[in-house]
A and B are shown apart, each in its own frame.
Chain A
Amino acid sequence: MKRLLMNKFVIGLFCTLLALPAMAQEDELKNLAGYVDFGNLSATYGEPKITINLGGTMLNFVGMMSSSESPETSDLISKLKGIRVQIYSIGEDTDAAMHQFGETKSNLQSSGWEPIVQVNEEDEQVLVYMKAVDGNMEGMTVMVVDDEEAVFVNVIGQLNPAELAKVMDRFDVNVDLALD
């Protein structure tokens, strides 16, 4: 009996220790001022068709790799601490996505985020919010809900859209965006 308890204790301790890095990575972003909790729409729409979670460490490596080919891109990336994307295929059932959209918007407003752009159409909602602390940009959030997709993008750190437009041509992005 005593040995059985000891086995359970050791196995439990092993599992806890092995899960620590994953928890630390998630906490690394959660504790930043520019982090936004988008909730979870998986119960309604299934798993997101695109999920992106990039932390500061990985972005640093991407920035270093980009420095030789484009100092502008490297400079832009160096100001970022994290990038998170969740994209759900929602079909025509927009209720849950719209509800989450409204709830996140409410949370952003109550936690000091500033609206930059908002488009309110009957079949399309677009929202761009920015967070600044003591004059420093800490994050940007883009949310789009239309009759096909719910898109939640959270950039943690400083991102200048004008600089972004300049470097976009350098990325070989081949994605079929439903925002057209």
Chain B
Amino acid sequence: MNEYDDKWEDHINALLDGELSAGDADLLKAQASDDRELARAIVEAYQLHRAMDQLNVERAPRSLTKRLNAIPREHRSASAFTLFQPRWAMALAVIPLIVITVSLMRPDTPSASEIAKARQEMAIAFAYIDKAAVLTGREIESTVGQTMANAVTGSVNKVIQSENLTSKEKKA
């Protein structure tokens, strides 16, 4: 179909749809008077239009309607969000990684009850150390006497204190 035919075809369609302006309608009418092919094309188009109007629209079967309606839903579920697609798996794996990294970078803030429990546990540990020191002092005392026991336990403390003193001197 050439450009000339396209132009008149648009006019014919517009005429049948009632959308052709009065000026264009007169122009088309004048042209059809001189052009028998165009006149016949208008008549055929009009008859086709009438025949289309007379066709009854048959309702689609219910099952077909359901299937057609389901197509967009099936399409959406397949492509929108699938948890274990690789890109979602990576994204989900990154979330706990970020949380853990942040929690490792800043110290956790324990609750007051947790600190109190830790203090009690620390006191228990200290009590055992203190008791062990008393026990060893008593054993030494029963073996070599009070004076020697004090000397030995005192020297033990001195040994440990001297280690601390050395470290303090080094820091200074």
A interface residues (Cβ-Cβ under 8 A, vs B): 3, 6-7, 9-10, 13-14, 17-18, 20-21, 24, 50, 52, 54, 57-62, 65-66, 77, 83, 85, 87, 116-117, 119, 121, 126, 128, 130, 132, 134-137, 140, 142, 144, 151, 153, 155, 158-162, 164-165, 167-168, 171-173, 175, 177, 179-180
Contacts and interface: CB of A to CB of B under 8 A. Distances in A.
A10 B89 contact: yes
B121 interface: yes
B119 A164 contact: no
Nearest to B132: A142
A50 B124 contact: yes
Interface residues of B, number: 45
Interface of B: 84, 86, 89, 92-93, 96-97, 100, 103-104, 107-110, 114-115, 118-133, 135-136, 139, 156-157, 159-161, 163-164, 166-167, 170
B160 A62 contact: no
B163 A130 contact: yes
A62 B122 contact: yes
A73 B96 CA distance: 38
For chain B, what secondary structure do more than half of its interface residues adopt (helix, strand, loop), or is it mixed? helix
A155 B132 CA distance: 14
Contact of A173 (B84, B103, B127, B156): B127
| Best-surrounded residue of B107, B129, B163 (most CB of chain A within 10 A) | B129
Given A24-B104, A128-B136, A130-B160, 10 more contacts: A6-B86, A17-B93, A52-B121, A126-B139, A136-B167, A137-B163, A161-B156, A171-B123, A172-B123, A173-B120
A59 B119 CA distance: 8
A63 B133 CA distance: 23
Contacts of B93: 10, 13-14, 17
